[in-house]
Structure 1
């Protein structure tokens, strides 16, 4: 372990939760920045544009003849 002497100064019961909290906060901030500063993420999460279903109706009319 590279930083094994660090645990002589910082207790693992304090250092590990602080490290996990720092990772969670940084991950949240990166994801928030992506959703706020890009347009394609919002479009992807909203499902994009809806396509009209006019083509199958024309195919059904041809089959009925």
Structure 2
């Protein structure tokens, strides 16, 4: 049975098994973190950079 995939909060690819489980996106390397999802300018936690800064980094 295939598990449903959810979009990565950073790159949008369908790569996360369940939001909030700290899975790492195979496309961009972002580690899913509910705190950083709620506050995309928060740095630290599961990821060194904030979600917004990481998005900017991978888009360049």
TM-score, length-scaled by structure 1: 0.21
Larger CA Rg, structure 1 vs 2: 1
TM-score, length-scaled by structure 2: 0.22
Q: Which protein has the bigger strand share?
A: 2
Higher relative contact order (CA 8 A, sep 6+): 2
Q: Which protein has the bigger helix share?
A: 1
